[in-house]
Amino acid sequence: MIAKFSYEHRVEFFETDLAGIVHFANYYRFMEQAEHAFFRSLGLKIHGTQPDGTVFGWPRVNASCSFKSPAFYEDLVEIRVSVLRLTSRSLTTSYELYRGKKLLATGEMKTAYCIIPADAKLESVEIPVEYVEQLKNYLESSQ
């Protein structure tokens, strides 16, 4: 069985329109919140600074979301996260958003592991081994 990380988010009023329906752009925020919680659960950081001043992070390369059913004010939305693909420099995570047993949306985000050395430009580099070791436990399929 494939490991999935689960994160819950209570829909706030500001995330909805006048009818109390979640605005589509907020699904991307929900996915990002779940992504950050997923990394924290593994003892990893999504962004930080190394001792030499080099900044690291995971900028988005691509993001998509397919909407199935609306979410509403005060709904408790469960976001399930798994790793779809893991390469030497990029990570693609998949998301399933549920209200109870009702599938609300599915999504994907592709990110690249990058560094910004002091006084230099953003550069894609290989994902550190400690990240790979943790993330591979959530792969949806073998590579």
Q: What is the tally of structural domains in the chain?
A: 1
Residue 48's CATH number: 3.10.129.10
Residue at 97 is within a domain: yes
DSSP 126: P
Residue at 21 is within a domain: yes
- The helix (H) or strand (E) run that includes residue 104 is strand 102-112
Please list the pLDDT of the chain residue by residue as tens digits (143 residues).
567 899 999 999 999 999 999 999 999 999 999 999 999 999 999 999 989 889 999 999 999 999 999 999 999 999 999 999 999 999 999 999 999 999 999 999 999 999 998 778 899 999 999 999 999 989 876 44
Rounded to two decimals, the pTM is 0.92
- Domain with 129, as residue range(s), is 5-138
Burial of 19 (0-12, 13-18, 19+ CB in 10 A): exposed
Residue at 133 is within a domain: yes
Distance CA 85, CA 62 (A): 13
- Is residue 52 part of the annotated active site? The answer reads no
Residue at 143 is within a domain: no
Catalytic residue among 17, 52, 75, 119: 17
Question: What b-and-e string marks burial along 27-43, b requiring 16 or more CB atoms within 10 Å of the CB?
Answer: bbebbbebbebbbeebe
